[in-house]
Structure 1
Amino acid sequence: MSGSICPLEWRYGSTEMRRVFSRRNIVDTYIAVEAAILKGLEEAGLAPSGCWSKVESLKGTLDPAEVDRLESRIGHDIAAIAEIISNRIDEPCSRFVHLGATSYDIVDTTWALILGEALKLTRARLIEVIKLLASLVEKYRDTIVVGRTHARHALPITFGFKMANYAYELTRSLQRLRELNERVVRSKISGAVGTMAGWLKQGLIVENTASSHLGLKPHLITTQVAPRDGFAEVIADLAILASQLERLSLEVRELMRDEISEVYIDTGEVGSSAMPHKRNPSVPERVCGLSRVIRGLLVSSMENIALMHERDLTNSSSERVIIPHVFLIIDQMLLDTISILRGLRVDEVSTSRNLELTQGRIMSECIMVKLVLRKGYSRIQAHELLRKLSRESIRENKHLREILMENGLYDDEIGECFDYSKYLGNYSELIDRVLKYVREQIEVGSM
């Protein structure tokens, strides 16, 4: 890889995703679309029968370098493809290649097919992430840990409950990615300004035949190009997914801090070249770093929506960069998240220790509620009292239980608050609700 420049060529993303966006696959898909349009021309009576299969047979035979050489001479990649195809097949079929079509009939329909492939692979990776989260939810369903808000100890939760929140969020992304098929993965076969004029009132036949052959539904109406809001939606949904994966990795990083030490990733990786003792969260950190790149590319995708009149070319160059980069990056992020979750372990000694760090003060809400419901206090009175007693606990370095005893407020009912397992609310039912949703969406998403 000594000649590589972009790390996506070798460092980030999978072989499968690189194949989807490879020059070879793009050229072959261009040929497939040209063949499908020619099949549409045949069905409409605008081209001789049997021509489309001759074009189809060229898949895998055109050297992308040959296309690039001709493009460098004539300045147009699709014109180069059409000329090479025409030169490879006999008369009379060669006369009808690309007839009535515009370059973006080929380009945008190719994008649709490639996006379909890339989204399918992305969904499969995401489903694996969600399944791993669901298994962690079950494994640690009842493992009590500190819940934190504003990075401060709040109330007890379970680690399974914590993971269920991530499973829910990521399953919502799975839904979003699946819905893209309906709005975005569509053919654009409508000619130079979208009216199909070059097909002499037979355009709907050409469009329908070609689209059906490719396994796509057509856009209902277009200009010379498919609407760019769809492309922006793809990148936006992947940016949301990237941010969710970052949130999960950030949580793992925070919980791995020596001061917290509630989780660790069971791997044999070297943490530091200088400090042998280090067990660094390098993979979660990579997820967080890559997420920033995707969010940055989202801006350019949004700017591509505003094209002039029936189209201009400002979207073309940026999309060639944005789309493969975003998919390869999210691919790496998902692979990294799978690795993280497979190795994620909870240190239950540390979680038990951390539950006691605030000397019972995390149960102040429980005590406040009991004072209101059982002892006749108003909520405001109880809140102010517990706020005062909590400060006293900190100042005197005493357990809140002891402070309550000194103030004549402790009894067996109040004492139950210090049994963390009795103040977890409806956590188990909420987990079950999420797992049911996850199972339903995975079943649909796998189709």
Structure 2
Amino acid sequence: MSSIFEGFLSTPEILEAFSERNFLEAMLDFEASLARAQASVGLIPEAAARSIIGTCKVDLFDVAKIVRESGQAGSIAIPLVKSLKETVGLFNKEASEFVHFGSTSQDVIDTALALVTREALGMIDVDVSRAIAALLALASRHADQPVLARTLMQPASVTSFGLKCAGWAAPLVRGRQRLQARARDALNVQFGGAVGTLAHMQGKGPQVLALMAADLKLKAPAFAWHTQRDEWVALGCELGLMVGSLGKIAKDISLMSQFEVGEIREPTEPGRGSSTAMLHKHNPLASLVALAASARAPQRVAALLAAMPQENERALGNWQAEVAEWPGLLMSAHGSARAMGQALSGLQVDAQRMLANLEAVRAGLASEAAVEWFNPALALDAGRMTRAQVITLTAMIRAIDAPAPESVPA
């Protein structure tokens, strides 16, 4: 999925997760699990299942050819299943007729997408957790550090940098919890056959579904969700909210790191954020990535919502549009989470510049306004008050923070 135009806005790991090879491997995992479950309940011969399972190895297939043929077929599943049947037939001709038995294209594609999404969510969770930990450490360290609060892009009064960091962390913690909850709801096996009835399963469909869910470590849904997209799209909406919360932090960092403000700075390393023409520049690269993600994610989420009115039992066009938008949303989410996790872990804070900016505003005001809003004693009082607030807030955030990344379905 990598592109010269957007590869730098994501991460190598998630680009690989949504690569053609990895996705086809997930589809083959579905086919192997299907054959294993069907053999265990007597729907297909054990020998046929062994042949199918043994052939569901991505190295045996021409991935590029299957992808090319998907354009004419209208689905990546059609050329894959065709190739799987042919390859199984080379070793066991009788077994080929049991490949993909009683299933349909959307079953294998949706389930593969759930498997790859689970992998992607685990990556996102790790980096969001890193960002949260960094923010809570900054909040504690700078709990009583006075800094200029700004409203409507103008100087307002005094706040604490620690309180600002706690305020950045809270939406990430809430978003992380919601993402994990939505993942538990949405990461389902898709298994309904042609019209969701599992008519070819001879009454054993629920058993096959349960066995596949246990094998693939996904949830067994009450209904085939071919056109019931609410839980899946809800997960997408939560990803959009997480990207927005990360983008808010990036916006503040980019503003506070401007030369004229100079209160914080993203971490420096050779070649990071450099300019081709102006060697003195230090561009806030992490903020760039997170802000680019926050500009793109809303359109992805809107496309998911727009695709929800899907026709009858299987959709024409809308489901295909949703599937095409999905990887980009997760790529943006991980790019943003990784960028912010790295930046916040090494964020450079200039306390003296924060105090100087406060003093510059205070000195330029009429005496009455200066006394009311920027008296040095007020800054000290704000520091004392916000230290207590930050301690309380960080304790609350830590208390509600979700479990470690392994809580995402594995």
Residues 149-188 of structure 1 aligned to structure 2 (within 5 Å): 149-188=151-190
Cα distance in structure 1, aligned partners of 2:375 and 2:19: 63
Residues 1:56 and 2:53 are matched in the alignment: yes
Q: Which amino acid aligns with 1:181?
A: A
Structure-2 change in CA distance of 1:274 and 1:49 (3 Å): closer
1: distance between equivalents of 2:72 and 2:245? 45
| 1:181-260 alignment runs, 5 A limit | 181-222=183-224, 225=226, 227-260=228-261
Q: 2:31 aligns with which of 22, 31, 34?
A: 34
Aligned to 1:398: 367
Q: Which amino acid aligns with 1:244?
A: S
**Structure 1 spans left out of the alignment, 5+ residues:** 361-392, 405-414
Counterparts in 2 of 1:47 and 1:251: CA distance versus 1, 3 Å: same
The C-alpha deviation readout for 1:63-106, integer Å capped at 9, x for no partner, is 21242355466554323222222222214322211121111111
Once the two structures are superposed, residues 209-243 of structure 1 have per-residue CA deviations (whole angstroms, 9 ceiling, x without a partner) of 122111111221135x1522233222211211111
Q: CA RMSD in A?
A: 2.8
Structure 2 counterpart of 1:295: 298
Answering whether residue 3 of structure 2 is matched by residue 12 of structure 1, we say: no
Asked if the contact 2:75/2:105 (under 8 Å) is kept, the reply is: no
Q: TM-score, normalised by structure 2?
A: 0.88
User: Secondary structure of the residue that 2:13 maps to in structure 1?
Assistant: helix
Task: Read off the aligned partner of 2:228 and give its amino acid letter.
Answer: P
Tell me which residue corresponds to 1:367: none
Q: Secondary structure at the match of 2:259?
A: coil
Matched residue count? 399
Task: Please report how far the alpha carbon of residue 178 of structure 1 lies from its aligned counterpart in structure 2 after TM superposition.
Answer: 0.7
Q: Which residue of 2 aligns with 1:87?
A: 86
Q: For residues 398 and 429 of structure 1, what CA distance do their matches in structure 2 show? A: 29
SS at match of 2:403: helix
Matched position secondary structure for 1:187:
coil
Whichever residue aligns with residue 220 of structure 1, its letter is A
Letter in 1 for 2:379: Y
Of residues 279-288 and 21-30 in structure 1, the stretch that sits farther from structure 2 once superposed is 279-288
Q: What does 1:352-371 correspond to in 2, within 5 Å?
A: 352-359=355-362
Shift of 1:19: 1.8
Q: Which structure exhibits the higher relative contact order, with contacts defined as CA atoms closer than 8 Å and separated by 6 or more residues?
A: 2
Percent of aligned pairs with the same amino acid? 23
**How big is the shift at 1:436?**
3.0
| Residue-by-residue CA offset, 1:289-340 (whole Å, 9 max, x unaligned) | 2311111222111111110111213134423431111212222212221232
Higher Rg? 1
Q: Is the 8 A contact 2:31 2:99 kept in 1?
A: yes
Which of 394, 398, 401 lines up with 1:439 in the alignment?
398
Structure 1 residue 282: Cα displacement = 4.1
Larger mean CA deviation between 99-108 and 307-316 belongs to 307-316
Per the alignment, residue 67 of structure 1 pairs with 66
Cα deviation, residue 35, structure 1: 1.6
Native 8 Å contact 2:14 2:331 kept in 1 = yes
In 2, Cα distance between equivalents of 1:266 and 1:116: 31
Aligned to 1:418: 377
| Contact 2:35 2:44 (C-alpha < 8 Å) held by counterparts | yes
CA–CA separation in structure 1 for the residues paired with 2:285 and 2:274: 8
TM-score, normalisation: structure 1:
0.81
Following superposition, the deviation at residue 261 of structure 1 comes to 2.0
Partner of 2:314, secondary structure, is coil
For structure 2, list consecutive stretches of 5 or more residues without a partner in the other structure.
Answer: none
C-alpha contact 1:109 1:188 (8 A) present in aligned 2 = yes
Structure 1 residues 28 and 128: alpha-carbon distance in aligned structure 2, compared to 1, 3 A threshold: same
Matches within 5 A, 1:68-147: 68=67, 70-71=69-70, 76-89=75-88, 90-147=92-149
The question of whether the paired residues in 1 share the 8 Å contact of 2:135 and 2:168 is answered with yes
